[in-house]
Structure 1
C-alpha cells in the first residue's frame, strides 16, 4: 500500500529558506517581546493599560465581562508566555516552530483590529484619518511589522510541497 506525499513539511524556520541569522533574530526578538509583555500582564499597571483596548474590541471585549480587567490581563499574559515558550521550543522542534509563529501572528492580527476599534486612533487636530495619533494610533500600527516578522517565521516553518514559499 502506498500513501500520498504529505503536502506540508514542518521544519525549524532557521533551517529552511531565508537567512539563518535574520530568521533567528526575528525569533529571539519575538521571544523577548512575548516574555516581557506577557510578564507585565500580571501587574495592575499593565491590566489597566490594556483595558481600553480590550473594552472597545469586538474580538476581545467579552473577556472583561467574563474575567474582569485583571483576570483578562492574566489570560492574555498566559497566552503571551505560552507563545514565548512555543517560539523558544520551536528553535529545536519543527512543530513548535510553526505553532509559535502562528500564535505570534494571531496575536498581532488581533492587536491590529484595535487600530479600527479603539477611539482616538485618528488624529482630529491633524485632519483625521489617515493622520493617526502617537497613542494609540502609531503604537498600534507598529504591530504590522511584528505581524510580518511572525508570518516570515511561519512561512519558513511550514513548507508546502506545492508552493514555493520563497516567491512570497
Structure 2
C-alpha cells in the first residue's frame, strides 16, 4: 500500500524492504514514549522539570515567554501526543508513517540542541566537555538513539519513484 507524491512514494515502514519486525518495534516503542512523555507534559512536575531546557534553548526559549512554564509544557505535550497519533495512524496509512517519523525526528533533533544550550551538560569536575554530567548531559544523549530510530522509521516510510527504499 503506497501513495505517490512528487518523486517520493510513501509507504508504511513495516511493509518496506528489510526487517519488518525491527521497524514494527521501533514504531510502537516511539508511540509509547510520545504518549507517556506527552501526557506527562500536562503535569506541574514535568513542566518545571523541562523549563531549564526550554528557557536556555535558542529554538524554544520563546515558549515560556509566550505561554508561561505550564503553557509551554502543554504546547509541547500537544505536539508529542500529535506525534504519537501520527505514528499510530502511520501503521495503516502510508503518508502518516512518514509524517509521524518526521515529527519524531524533529523532536529529537531539537532536544539534542539542548546539549549545546543547557548549562551543566559538560561536567567541569571531569575536565569539561566531552565529559558530560549524568543530568542533564547523559539524559539528553539518549535522544541520539531515539533520533536514529525515528530516522530509520522515516527512511522505511519513503521510496524513490523507482520503488527502491531510501538509504
Secondary structure of the equivalent of 1:14? helix
1:23 and 1:59 map into 2 onto residues whose CA distance is 30
Task: Say whether residues 1:137 and 2:143 are aligned partners.
Answer: no
1:165 and 1:61 map into 2 onto residues whose CA distance is 37
2:163 and 2:19 map into 1 onto residues whose CA distance is 19
C-alpha RMSD over aligned residues: 1.4
Q: In structure 2, do the counterparts of structure 1 residues 25 and 62 end up closer, same or farther at CA, with 3 Å as the change threshold?
A: same
Task: Say whether residues 1:20 and 2:17 are aligned partners.
Answer: no
TM-score (structure 1 length as normaliser): 0.93
Q: How far 1:17 sits from its partner (Å)?
A: 2.0
Stretches (4+) displaced over 3 A: 162-166
Aligned to 2:94: 94
1:73 and 1:163 map into 2 onto residues whose CA distance is 41
Superposition pairs for residues 4-83 of structure 1, below 5 Å? 6-83=6-83
1:117 and 1:40 map into 2 onto residues whose CA distance is 23
2:6 and 2:119 map into 1 onto residues whose CA distance is 46
TM-score (structure 2 length as normaliser): 0.94
Aligned to 2:152: 152
10-19 or 156-165, which moves further after superposition?
156-165
1:135 and 1:35 map into 2 onto residues whose CA distance is 23
5-14 or 47-56, which moves further after superposition?
5-14
Deviation string, structure 1 residues 10-51 (Cα, Å, up to 9, x no partner):
100000022111000000000000000000000000000000
Aligned to 1:118: 118
Secondary structure of the equivalent of 1:60? coil
